[in-house]
Amino acid sequence: MATRVPLAFLCFMLFASPFLAAKTFDFYYLVLMWPGAYCTQSACCRPTTGLPKNDFFVRGLWTFDSTTGKPVTKCNSDPFYVDQLSSLKDGLNSYWANVKCPSNNGVVYWKKTWKTYGVCSRLNETEYFQAALDLRAKVDVLSLLDKKGIKPSLLYIYGASDIEKAIAEGIGATPVIRCSKGLLGQFQLYEIYICVDKDGKTIIECPVKPRFTCSEEIFFTPFDTNNLHNAPAAPDPAELPVSDE
């Protein structure tokens, strides 16, 4: 004889299961990237949408769990519609450009960010990208550094803690600096992680800090958008001319 499942239990499962199943995030990392560091490691190409700004780019607005310190990703399979970014195109092309070669329009990278992190944000697509662009503009790291005399240069090196301090004073919370290695093996400013409340607006102290290696003194490698190569997508390798060398 079948046992009757209590109705209350069924109701609980029906209403609670989507919430039990859904992963949730506690805070964002706004990750800003300095293209001058990125472009010393690999050749960089001019986006097909035109020149981006000579400034920090948005790398992502990443959803994280403060307990585990892990990213919260791919929470659902909400689609990505490029049309929903039409009002943000200027901002995205200027500050969320992709200078990877071959030259591209950035869309596949925006899509990847949306499908990985954006869908976990509880913002819709337009709101999510707008939030990231607004945060970038609000923190304006390049100006904060400039005010303290920290400018991209091959002639000077800067204390990593001075860079951190200059940003912290401006935003009211401690950022985390990530370095990469330049051509001669020297550490250089590469990315800046800033923690943001799950409202997508308020900058907060980081509940969990990522750890990266930098030396005490680091380079702030110059970036000049005019040096970006104009490199359309490569033709089929079978059609490439044979080199003379």
The three-class DSSP label of residue 142 is: helix
Residue 213, phi then psi, degrees to nearest 5 = -100, 125
Minimal distance, residue 30 CB to ligand NAG, in Å: 20
Q: CB under 6 A: which stretch of 15-23, 121-129, 139-147, 186-194 binds ligand NAG?
A: 121-129
d(CA 131, CA 63) in angstroms, rounded, equals 13
Q: CB under 6 A: which stretch of 64-72, 119-127, 162-170, 202-210 binds ligand NAG?
A: 119-127
CB closer to ligand NAG, 84 vs 225: 84
Residue 114: which of 161, 81, 162 has the closest Cα? 81
CB atoms within 10 A of CB 56: 23
Q: Which of residues 52-91 bind ligand NAG (CB under 6 A)?
A: 84
CB closer to ligand NAG, 59 vs 198: 198
Q: Which residue is nearest to ligand NAG (CB)?
A: 124
**For the chain, how are helix, strand and coil distributed in percent, rounded to 5?**
35, 20, 45
Residue 221: which of 142, 156, 136, 139 has the closest Cα? 156
Q: Exactly one of 41, 124, 161, 202 binds ligand NAG (CB under 6 A); which one?
A: 124
β-strand 57-64 against 153-159: which pairing, if any?
unpaired
- The pair of three-digit structure tokens given for residue 151, joined into one six-digit string: 């400018």
CB closer to ligand NAG, 34 vs 128: 128
Minimal distance, residue 123 CB to ligand NAG, in Å: 8
Residue 95: which of 60, 57, 143, 132 has the closest Cα? 57
Count, residues near ligand NAG per rule CB under 6 A: 4
Q: Which of residues 125-164 bind ligand NAG (CB under 6 A)?
A: 126-127
CB atoms within 10 A of CB 146: 13
Minimal distance, residue 102 CB to ligand NAG, in Å: 31
Q: Binding string to ligand NAG for residues 1 to 20, with x set by CB under 6 A, is what? A: --------------------
Minimal distance, residue 45 CB to ligand NAG, in Å: 31
* Residues near ligand NAG, by CB under 6 A: 84, 124, 126-127
